[in-house]
Each structure stands twice: as structure tokens, then as C-alpha cells.
Amino acid sequence: MRYLSEILLALFALIISYEDLKRFRISNKVLISFLLLLSIQAALSHQIFLEFKSGLLYFFVFSFLYLLISLTSRKSRLGFGDVKLIAVIAFGYINVGFQSACIFMAALWIALLIQLFFETLVRRKFPSHIAMAPSIFFAAGLYLYAPIGLHLSQ
């Protein structure tokens, strides 16, 4: 079951990242199909309520950040598609809890800094638009496979 989960993550990472890089939009149809497949997997592993709680928690936190950024800045750098994507990834892959949230946020900052560095290097200027989906998926990979949690205070 774990391999199926990793294949789903890799497949949708490619599809959604390509779409976001090309059009700076994340399709609701693709997100709903990703969520549906993750829901089936969660139901089969009897983890649906815990994963639903995680997805809902991250949705509310990042929705609040989206609203805060939208109210304080004319150009919002965080799109609502990114908020929905984080919620779907949290539903399937991120645990509930303060330490898990800290690890994911640290991974997201690292991924965004790497993406900003490469985009600035390629374009020779600071990008005005950033497709965050590749960074979100990279952060999910760091969260799942890198020992970032070992470096946070217990």
C-alpha cells in the first residue's frame, strides 16, 4: 500500500507541477481526482478520520495565511490553488501535530528558497510570479524522506 501511495504522489506531482509551471493554475478536476484516490487509500487503511483531520487543519491554517496575505498585499504570492494542494497533500501524507507542522513548514521554506534561487539564477532577476506546486511537492518529499525532524528541538 505504501508503494501505491508513493506512485500517486509522484504521478500527481508531475501532472500538477507541469500545469502550474505552464499556466500558474491548478485544476480543481486534478485535485479532486487526487483527493478521491487518496480517500480510497485512506479508507482501505482505516485512517480516513485522522487524515481528514490533518487535511482540514492544514486547509484552515493556509486559508488564514491566504486571507492575511491577500489583505496586506496587493499582489498575493500564495494562490488558493496552492492552499487546496497543501490540504490534499496533508490529507494523504502529513500527520496532525505541532511537530509535524513545524517539519512541513521548514521543508516548505527550504523548497521555496531553492526554487527562488534557481529561478533567479535562470532568469537573472527576481521572479514576479512563482508556481508553488513544485515546491509544495518537494516539501512533501522532504517531509516524508529527509530527517528534518531530527534537527528540531523535541
Lowest mean pLDDT among 32-41, 43-52, 55-64, 86-95: 43-52
Task: Please measure the distance between the N-terminal and C-terminal CA atoms of the chain and give it in whole angstroms.
Answer: 30
Q: Where are the domains of the chain?
A: 2-151
Q: What angle do CA 142, 23, 101 make, to 5 degrees?
A: 25
Q: Which three three-digit cell numbers place residue 55?
A: 487535511
75-85 residue pLDDT tens: 667 788 899 99
Q: What is the pLDDT of residue 152?
A: 53
Cα–Cα dist 39/48, whole Å = 7
Mean pLDDT, rounded, for 45-61: 86
Which distant-in-sequence residues (6+ apart) come within 8 Å of 54 by Cβ?
90, 91, 94, 95, 96
